[in-house]
Amino acid sequence: MSNETFITVIGRLVGDPELRYTQGGAGVANFTVASNARTFDKNTNEWKNKTATFWRCAAWNQGEKQRLGENVADALKKGDSVIVRGEVETREWEDKEGNKRSVIELRVDTIGKDLRWHQPAAGAGFSNTAQPAGFSPSTAQTDPWATSTASTGNNSPGWGNGPDSEPPF
């Protein structure tokens, strides 16, 4: 395995992945990711978009247990922000008129949603102000880990009970 060129692309799906199967039964999801870099213009104090690059991608199933193509088709949709890692390949074929054609595409090794820009679905129960499960103001009063150094008068780190004391459990 030499001379492979692996890259990572961060962008958005421009359409829903299309799942198809070869005559041999191998599943592949084809999709396109648009990636456009931004630069900050100090003169205008604004962000400016550069020209978008469109990456054709192919995610193949790998045997019986690894269903990458099917998982991509099932989990992703148009507009999703993704991070894709794969090998750059040149694929060649002959069209119906007999012309030789080629395309550069990314053979996907791994892919995932980019959660930096993710917006939860309406009614999903997420909010920016949500408290951890089981948290309430009354819980904080009985939580031995919540003992502050101010209340014990001790400036040592840890449980607020001094460096030689046992943890409160």
pLDDT value at residue 66: 83
Domain ranges, ordered by start, for the chain: 6-113
Q: Which two tokens stand for residue 132?
A: 């951890």
Q: pTM to 2 decimals?
A: 0.64
Mean pLDDT of 70-76: 94
Options 2.40.50.140, 3.40.50.970, 1.10.3720.10, 3.40.50.720; CATH of 6-113: 2.40.50.140
Q: From CA 83, how far away is CA 86, in angstroms rounded?
A: 10
CA triplet 43, 47, 53: central angle to 5 degrees?
Answer: 125
CA 73, CA 69: separation in Å to the nearest integer?
Answer: 6
Q: Are strands 100-113 and 38-41 parallel, antiparallel or unpaired?
A: unpaired
Q: What is the DSSP-derived secondary structure letter of residue 62?
A: B
* Sign of the CA dihedral running 105, 111, 113, 115: negative
Higher-pLDDT residue of 5, 169: 5
